[in-house]
């Protein structure tokens, strides 16, 4: 058995002043009790510093001893590769580097901004009006997400240091992080030959309605991806007659004919208040939420009830994105590790999660070497056969054909089942609960993202779980938390994003708020849950078991803390900027040669502006324009740049601009991302041979560890119930006859029920 050398609160972390990514990585250490010192002159704005620097000791310099005694040193650059230096560290120091493109690969010398990284990673292509230029997402999301992955990498390296006596340096890039945070883009393209692109003001997922709708007093986020949810919505709104339209054979067909529903639903919503509609729909278990403004978040009843806000001077800032609700006070060491299997080898995880946020968190643990046992109900992957309309709408099956045992051929389930094992248990039956309770004592972590009432109704609340395993790390991921007026709301990332204010940060300057092509609350919540679990495992030898609550809503608000502070400082809501930025002028997405081909250009300094003027042959008197003058003339500058870029190849143009010091990137679609030479050089993808499907090329964990000569092989997702025997008999101790009885009852199975 192995224990950590010191409690989390005794870890010493040095953050070399840099980007939001480095600052958020360090903030996660500071918020959870580690000793964090920020060294150097801050590159953050006043609002960013007010949020991100809480709990840190800030110094302009530090002595040699401080660096040598540090457990972790965090280096980050907002735009370029972190420069190597004669940094003197201790023999046990983990050095974490965060940058846009990394220290090796064809683009390692490129300048990156959020706008160019969004474009290069395929995210910009998914957002906006298909008849207009595509849109970037919330400006600082790539940085916050990189900071989260950097924290995960730092903790993994610390575990390897203590458990396997192996020291890593860690590298994380904004680019690869965004590649890893696509939900379905890669599987839909490779299985169904479907290139996702922007679909208007709605999420690029299946189901309709699934987007933003105007109400009498504001905007509503609405999502009804299941047949039952949509049929209920149609009944409530008096629109059930639309199901009689000859084009509609099943509710899923509205995916192919979205205007048919929208043209009737929109007028109904426009006559009602967003809060009234969301309460009505939520009572019927239809995911919906009013779209908060940034300052409106400060008065949100759910956040106020949960006392989420903290004070940083005179400003209100988000509180912690996850919290420990109770500890058992039964410390225990971690199990022994196999150094060849990863820093978390020997740790067992029971994964009861579904959809995206929870499965992502569990999969990251698996990629770090944990044995993740996916506990699935018999119907967890759907029925034995599904309507062809759903197959077409999802585009998750090879060649859009469900085929035999289609439940093992669903690309979405495959992606989030990678590196996991599968055990099928029907927890709705007493025999299933008894079998599951035999699993809990062998686990180190249990993670679920049910609504708050599910686990208690099963008789599996934290008290019962900890009676079965006193040192269990129990992670619960409710959408809104386990208290407050929205406690029992149905929570999807596609509705939480607008409720958490993200839609107020995306949109054309002459229009209204927009949804992103990715439901950001899901991966953001998943990453925070992973971080919380790693902290709890580290401290388990000192504090014992723990129950952790990571509410998706609160995690999402946590990564716009600086925006919330800035709105308070200015006394008004942020303006929609389209693809522009107040600091990088000009910045935009411009047309290139070919259909729906675009390039993003971002001018980060005066020298880059001078070079751009020369290479684009802009008017000579523009060279001397100041940033504020350029901001005033932005429309005119955009028109000139669009005229220049429109006849040029997006890939060649971006490379040409980067060679002369101008930040630029092509707006890639998914085939373009899969063919990107930089990602190939950095082994950002791995091919997995998936049974029933064939070869799939999917993103790897976007963390590079120096001591690993190569990435561990990606293991295919388990077939439904593939590991029933090895888990229930070999690990949990059921006899062969007991397993046979459960199989005869249908409690344990390898096929969905009829």
The model carries a pTM of 0.97
CA dist 418 and 362 (Å) reads 10
Domain end: 645, 668, 691, which one?
A: 668
Do residues 537 and 633 both lie within one domain? no
444 belongs to a structural domain: yes
Tokens 């932005």 belong to which residue? 634
| Residue 454 and residue 467 in contact, taking contact as beta carbons nearer than 8 Å | no
Q: Which letter does DSSP use for residue 36 in this model?
A: E
104 belongs to a structural domain: no
Do residues 272 and 355 both lie within one domain? no
Do residues 544 and 590 both lie within one domain? no
CA dist 696 and 266 (Å) reads 40
Do residues 440 and 491 both lie within one domain? yes
484 belongs to a structural domain: yes
Q: Which residues span the domain enclosing 464? A: 323-377+425-559
Do residues 338 and 434 both lie within one domain? yes
Q: In sequence order, what are the residues at sequence separation of 6 or more whose Cβ sits closer than 8 angstroms to the Cβ of residue 696?
A: 186, 187, 190, 191, 411, 414, 687, 688, 690
Do residues 511 and 612 both lie within one domain? no
Q: What is the CATH number of the domain that holds 598?
A: 3.30.1540.10
Do residues 440 and 511 both lie within one domain? yes
Residue-wise pLDDT tens digits, 377-430: 999 998 888 888 788 878 889 988 998 899 999 998 999 999 999 999 999 999
Do residues 346 and 464 both lie within one domain? yes
pLDDT at res. 2: 45
CA dist 257 and 245 (Å) reads 11
CA distances from 409 to 195, 388, 397, 502 (A): 19, 14, 6, 33
CA dist 153 and 170 (Å) reads 6
Q: Which of helix, strand or coil describes residue 583? A: coil
660 belongs to a structural domain: yes
Domain end: 643, 668, 693, which one?
A: 668
| Residue 257 and residue 200 in contact, taking contact as beta carbons nearer than 8 Å | no
Phi/psi zone of residue 348: left (φ > 0), alpha (ψ -120 to 50 degrees), beta? Answer: beta
Q: What are phi and psi of 221, to 5 degrees?
A: -95, 130
733 belongs to a structural domain: no
- Angle, to 10 degrees, between the axis of helix 736-745 and the axis of helix 430-439? 140
Residue-wise pLDDT tens digits, 238-281: 999 999 999 998 888 888 888 899 999 999 999 999 999 999 99
CA dist 713 and 317 (Å) reads 41
Residue-wise pLDDT tens digits, 156-170: 999 999 998 888 899
Do residues 617 and 538 both lie within one domain? no
Do residues 592 and 450 both lie within one domain? no
222 belongs to a structural domain: yes
pLDDT at res. 1: 43
Q: What are phi and psi of 88, to 5 degrees?
A: -90, 115
Quick one: which of 137, 75, 95 has its CA closest to 516? 137
CA dist 408 and 411 (Å) reads 9
Number of domains in the chain: 3
The ranges of the chain with pLDDT < 50 are 1-3
Do residues 485 and 627 both lie within one domain? no
CA dist 184 and 186 (Å) reads 6
Do residues 483 and 618 both lie within one domain? no
Between β-strands 348-351 and 445-448, what pairing exists: parallel, antiparallel or unpaired?
Answer: parallel
352 belongs to a structural domain: yes
Domain end: 636, 668, 700, which one?
A: 668
CA dist 742 and 530 (Å) reads 33
pLDDT at res. 708: 62
């Amino acid at each position: 058995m192995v224990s950590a050398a010191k409690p989390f609160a005794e870890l010493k972390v040095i953050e070399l002043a840099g980007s939001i990514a480095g600052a958020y990585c360090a903030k996660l250490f500071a918020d959870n009790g580690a000793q964090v010192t920020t060294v150097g002159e801050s590159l953050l704005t006043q609002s960013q510093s007010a949020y991100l620097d809480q709990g840190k000791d800030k110094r302009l310099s530090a002595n040699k001893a401080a660096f040598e005694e540090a457990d972790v040193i965090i280096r980050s650059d907002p735009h370029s590769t972190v420069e190597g230096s004669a940094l003197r560290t201790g023999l046990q120091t983990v050095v974490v580097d965060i940058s846009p493109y990394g220290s090796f690969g064809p683009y390692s010398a490129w300048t990156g901004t959020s706008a160019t990284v969004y474009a290069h990673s395929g995210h910009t292509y998914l957002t906006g009006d298909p008849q207009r230029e595509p849109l970037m997402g919330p400006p600082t999301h790539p940085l916050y997400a990189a900071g989260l992955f950097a924290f995960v990498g730092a903790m993994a390296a610390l575990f390897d240091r203590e458990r396997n006596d192996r020291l890593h340096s860690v590298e994380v890039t904004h680019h690869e992080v965004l590649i890893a945070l696509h939900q379905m883009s890669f599987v839909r393209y490779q299985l169904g030959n479907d290139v996702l692109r922007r679909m208007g003001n709605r999420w690029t997922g299946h189901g309709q309605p699934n987007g933003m709708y105007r109400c009498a007093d504001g905007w509503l986020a609405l999502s009804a991806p299941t047949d039952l949810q949509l049929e209920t919505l149609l009944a409530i709104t008096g629109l059930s007659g639309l199901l009689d339209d000859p084009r509609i054979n099943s509710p899923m067909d509205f995916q192919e004919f979205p205007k048919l529903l929208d043209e009737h639903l929109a007028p109904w919503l426009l006559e009602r208040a967003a809060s009234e509609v969301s309460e009505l729909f939520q009572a019927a278990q239809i995911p919906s939420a009013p779209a908060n403004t940034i300052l409106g978040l400060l008065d949100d009843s759910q956040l106020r009830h949960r006392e989420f806000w903290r004070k940083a001077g005179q400003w209100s800032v988000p509180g912690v994105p996850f919290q420990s609700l109770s500890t058992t006070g039964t410390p225990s060491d971690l199990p022994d590790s196999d150094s060849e299997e990863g820093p978390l080898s020997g740790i067992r995880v029971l994964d009861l999660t579904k959809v995206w946020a929870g499965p992502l968190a569990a999969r990251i643990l698996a990629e770090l070497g944990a044995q993740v046992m996916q506990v699935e109900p018999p119907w967890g992957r759907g029925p034995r056969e599904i309507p062809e309309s759903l197959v077409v709408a999802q585009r998750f099956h090879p060649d859009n054909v469900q085929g035999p045992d289609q439940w093992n051929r669903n690309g979405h389930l495959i992606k989030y089942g990678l590196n996991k094992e599968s055990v099928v248990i029907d927890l709705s039956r007493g025999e299933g609960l008894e079998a599951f309770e035999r699993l809990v004592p062998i686990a180190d972590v249990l993670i679920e993202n049910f609504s708050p009432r599910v686990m208690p109704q099963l008789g599996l609340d934290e008290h019962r779980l900890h009676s079965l395993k006193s040192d269990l790390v129990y992670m619960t991921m409710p959408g809104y938390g386990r208290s407050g007026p929205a406690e029992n709301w149905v929570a999807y990332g596609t509705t939480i994003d607008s409720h958490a204010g993200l839609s107020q940060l995306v949109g054309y300057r002459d229009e209204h708020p927009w949804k992103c092509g990715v439901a950001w609350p899901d991966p953001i919540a998943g990453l925070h849950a992973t971080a919380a679990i790693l902290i709890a495992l580290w401290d388990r030898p000192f504090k014992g078991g723990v129950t952790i609550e990571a509410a998706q809503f609160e995690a999402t608000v946590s990564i716009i803390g600086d925006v919330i502070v800035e709105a308070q400082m200015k006394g008004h809501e942020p303006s929609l900027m389209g693809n522009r930025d107040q600091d990088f002028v000009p910045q935009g997405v411009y047309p290139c040669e070919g259909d729906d081909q675009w390039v993003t250009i971002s001018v980060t300094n005066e020298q880059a502006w001078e070079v751009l003027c020369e290479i684009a042959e802009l008017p000579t008197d523009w060279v001397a324009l100041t940033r504020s003058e350029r901001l005033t003339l932005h429309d005119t500058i955009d028109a000139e740049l669009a005229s220049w870029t429109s006849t040029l190849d997006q890939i060649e143009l971006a490379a040409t601009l980067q060679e002369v010091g101008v930040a630029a990137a092509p707006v890639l679609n998914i085939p373009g991302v899969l063919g990107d030479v930089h990602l190939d050089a950095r082994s950002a993808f791995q091919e997995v041979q998936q049974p029933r499907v064939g070869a799939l090329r999917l993103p790897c964990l976007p963390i590079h560890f120096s001591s690993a000569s190569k990435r561990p092989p990606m293991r295919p997702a388990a077939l439904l119930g593939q590991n029933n025997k090895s888990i229930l008999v070999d690990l949990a101790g059921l006899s062969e006859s007991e397993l046979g009885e459960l199989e005869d009852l249908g409690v344990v199975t390898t096929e969905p029920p009829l």
